[in-house]
Structure 1
Amino acid sequence: MHDIRSIRENPAAFDAALARRGLSPVAAGLVALDERHRALITEAQTGQARRNEASKAIGAAKAKKDDATAASLMAEVAALKERMPAIEAEEKDVAAQLKAALEMIPNLPADDVPHGAGEEDNVEVARWGTPRGFDFTPREHADLAPALGMDFETGARLSGARFTFLRGDMARLHRALGQFMLDLQTREHGYEECNPPVLVKDEAMYGTDKLPKFAEDSFRTTDDRWLIPTSEVSLTASVMGELLDESALPVRLTALTLCFRSEAGAAGRDTRGFIRQHQFEKCELVSIVRPEDSEAEHQRMTRAAETVLERLNLPYRKLLLCTGDMGFGARKTYDLEVWLPGQNAYREISSCSNTGAFQARRMNTRYRVAGEKKTEFVHTLNGSGLAVGRTLVAVIENYQNEDGSVSVPEALLSYTGGMSRLELRR
């Protein structure tokens, strides 16, 4: 959510920042709504003050037996009483219009975000690892994994497209990956482990910028709760409405949860295989920090996600997303793309975003500056550390053997009970 005061003070700068996202100017319309809203508030306050003043004057006029003045004042009070509900109703309507307009406008990009229209304009800033050379033609996971326990047919029969039933050692490897990620982020990177709800209210989804714009991309229950699209929602909203002490910052939270996405906005993409599912697990990273610390925290968070890939010896590249490819709530985003030899391509496995005060303003989450009376909005950040299913795909493709088996990365052996290879199921 944007601060209407900053738009009012510098509308040209606001429109210029939106133009970098490829959007048309909107500041003039917002400022006009804001001016009308403030004028209505002033009119309502002035009218109420005059009504109170006139009411007192009526008593004084009657005491003096000044019937003409009393009658005039009574007529004025009656007129104000009749007019006030209309003013108050219009004020509420204009306020709702302004709020609805502001909540549909994406975050403004940071100054160092490259300008671009789409993913082709993202900037590669680093690569790690060398893709493995195979002495056979590597296969895609969708062709290789069914014989190892990735059961697409049963998942589809039970729940429909984009659901998968994992069996045996495949399920065990998936669990091992999640536990490995969670342990790494808590033990080495200082994130506090959480086990949050996966059903949340409207307020949590709204505060983390998932509503109202992306309602159709999420699943809603019959009692009007939402299945979280990511535990970013639960973790970030855990400080919703709070006034934090500066000494409590930074707050760093992580959770390994199920996530649910209807993928309404991704029709036709990655329908084959295990990359884009309606139900998946993810190790999420969330940070709540002071504004002056958010850029350094963004680098730190991204590094925490990179460490998972490096420990698993999975080659990847790091991209700085351009203005046209960033998410709605992000002011700056790094994507990590892992190498998939079966596809002969890098594919997204983590996205780490700094949202600045965008979510905090929607959640009304502030902190009290030490030694001062003033309060400020916190900055919030979120990232994947990592998406478990996509990491499973990367392990399968990078560690595949010519006989169709898959070796288990050394870093996971203590989590698999010594299981060192996925073998073909009989």
Structure 2
Amino acid sequence: MITALRGMKDLLENDGKLYKFIIQTCESVVKNYGYKFCETPKLEETTLFKRSVGQSSDIVGKEMYQFIDKSGNDVCLRPEGTAGVVRAFIESKFDRVGGIRKYFYYGSMFRYERPQRGRLREFHQFGVECFGEASVYEDASAILMLNEILNNLGIKTTLKINSLGDGECMPLYKDKLVKFININKENLCQDCLRRLETNPIRILDCKNDSCQNILKNAPLITDNLNQICQDEFNKLQEILRANGVEFEIDPKLVRGLDYYCKSAFEFVSAEIGSQSAVAGGGRYDKLCEYLGGKPTAAVGWAMGIERIMEILKQKEPQNSRQGIYICALNPNLIDEIYKIAQKLRKHHITEISYEAKSPNKHLNIADKRGFEIFLCLGDDEFSQNQIWYKNLNDKSEKRISIDDLWSKI
């Protein structure tokens, strides 16, 4: 038997239903903020991610599905969504036109990492990207939008925010951080020794205990912001408070990608074990320029759908039923129930059984498959223009007129 590859998972039955529910919940919120759908290819040139995500990131260093295709091109499956959207934005010359553009997307991403709960090698994200808006109010809107989605999904999270500064204060902070770490680098892990040479700021993101012990007394970026970045960070906090959003300032929050500047944020949840990020993002005003476009202010976020699914599965009612199961006791009545089902399908999930079985056998099937309403047509019912109706939630049952069926359901 051929099975799915390790770290790849099918979305069937309830998983598929839950996936669509999450996407629809996200869409309903982001559209109200003016975001429009976009789709980019799953396969891109490897250079796109090396330039954007950064050589120092674990994604580029360890986790990309990278290969040489039959034409000799160095390509990879997308490990995240932002770089592809930025590439499409520049390729369409929108960076030269100016103005504000807002996009949302969802779909598969790929990273070769150890599969675990809520983390797969092929996983799914929902994300948004806003181009051309430099105001910190848009950073706040991105956070408020994501907060609304998580609230609508009924997921308890903690919001963590930070400012990574800009091209003026970040280099000065990096110098301070490198001087501090060089004094204590004998206990750094191998990954952080590499980061020390490529992008020292990424050391703050390391989960290794020995590295975190070193960083306890490290200088903080929030103590080294210039006046512009400090004012914007203060304003972000003010807007969040005014909108009733609680948050924690985490000076070591740098996200896992090299392209962020100024605002960075994560929503973390403890509902699937140890506290982990379910969504996050920030501002990346230099990324368009890095990828060959004109300098363009940008901010966005992405949400891991598998982690959201894991949380929602724990909350899902055990006896959640929906849909209609309709059947006949006589094969000669299949045409009749088919006509009824086609009317019901205009407004309800409806499944027909094309086999004539005993009422109990039909009822067992409907019950096991989680239908809410059971409809059965026998000769007696048909002769009186009626159908047998049973609600599988409260177990109530009765005969009702077929003409009255549409008002009863």
Q: TM-score, normalized by length of structure 1?
A: 0.48
| 1:234 shift after superposition | 1.2
| 1:278 shift after superposition | 0.7
Paired position in structure 1 for 2:278 = 349
Q: Is the 8 A contact 1:193 1:255 kept in 2?
A: yes
Letter in 2 for 1:335: E
- Aligned residue pairs, count: 234
Q: CA, structure 1 residues 246+167, in 2 after alignment: closer, same or farther (shift >3 Å)?
A: closer
Map of 1:331-342 to 2, 5 A cutoff? 331=261, 332-340=263-271
Q: CA, structure 1 residues 163+356, in 2 after alignment: closer, same or farther (shift >3 Å)?
A: same
Deviations 1:375-408, CA, capped at 9 Å, x for gaps: xx21222211x322111112112x245xx55689
Q: Is the 8 A contact 1:236 1:380 kept in 2?
A: no
Paired position in structure 1 for 2:260 = 330
Q: State how far apart, in whole Å, the 2-side matches of 1:262 and 1:231 are.
A: 16
Letter in 1 for 2:291: M
Q: CA, structure 1 residues 400+424, in 2 after alignment: closer, same or farther (shift >3 Å)?
A: farther
Letter in 1 for 2:53: D
Deviations 1:300-328, CA, capped at 9 Å, x for gaps: 11211111111122222111144544132
Letter in 2 for 1:355: Y
1:201 aligns with 2:45: yes
Map of 1:44-193 to 2, 5 A cutoff? 157-160=3-6, 162-185=7-30, 187-193=31-37
Q: Secondary structure at the match of 1:240?
A: helix
Q: Is the 8 A contact 2:161 2:253 kept in 1?
A: no
Q: State how far apart, in whole Å, the 2-side matches of 1:234 and 1:196 are.
A: 6
Q: Is the 8 A contact 2:285 2:298 kept in 1?
A: yes
Q: State how far apart, in whole Å, the 2-side matches of 1:296 and 1:306 are.
A: 15
Q: CA, structure 1 residues 239+206, in 2 after alignment: closer, same or farther (shift >3 Å)?
A: farther
Deviations 1:151-171, CA, capped at 9 Å, x for gaps: xxx99x4202x3323331222
Segments of structure 2 that go 5 or more residues without pairing to the other structure are 163-249, 323-346, 351-366, 371-409
1:287 aligns with 2:130: yes
Q: Is the 8 A contact 1:351 1:383 kept in 2?
A: yes
Letter in 2 for 1:383: W
Paired position in structure 1 for 2:233 = none
| 1:349 shift after superposition | 0.9
1:313 aligns with 2:313: no
**Counterpart selection for 2:77 from 222, 227, 236:** 227
| 1:183 shift after superposition | 3.8
Paired position in structure 2 for 1:363 = 291
Q: State how far apart, in whole Å, the 2-side matches of 1:203 and 1:302 are.
A: 30
Q: CA, structure 1 residues 241+256, in 2 after alignment: closer, same or farther (shift >3 Å)?
A: closer
Q: CA, structure 1 residues 254+324, in 2 after alignment: closer, same or farther (shift >3 Å)?
A: same
**Counterpart selection for 2:308 from 375, 391, 399:** 391
1:297 aligns with 2:215: no
Choose between structure 1 and 2 for higher RCO, CA contacts under 8 A separated by at least 6 residues.
1
Q: State how far apart, in whole Å, the 2-side matches of 1:424 and 1:216 are.
A: 45
Q: State how far apart, in whole Å, the 1-side matches of 2:321 and 2:308 are.
A: 14
Paired position in structure 2 for 1:218 = 64
Q: State how far apart, in whole Å, the 1-side matches of 2:94 and 2:311 are.
A: 40
Q: CA, structure 1 residues 254+211, in 2 after alignment: closer, same or farther (shift >3 Å)?
A: farther
Deviations 1:270-324, CA, capped at 9 Å, x for gaps: x442x1111111111111124x42x222111121111111112222211114454
Q: State how far apart, in whole Å, the 1-side matches of 2:11 and 2:5 are.
A: 14
Deviations 1:95-124, CA, capped at 9 Å, x for gaps: xxxxxxxxxxxxxxxxxxxxxxxxxxxxxx
Letter in 2 for 1:284: G
Q: State how far apart, in whole Å, the 2-side matches of 1:226 and 1:297 are.
A: 32
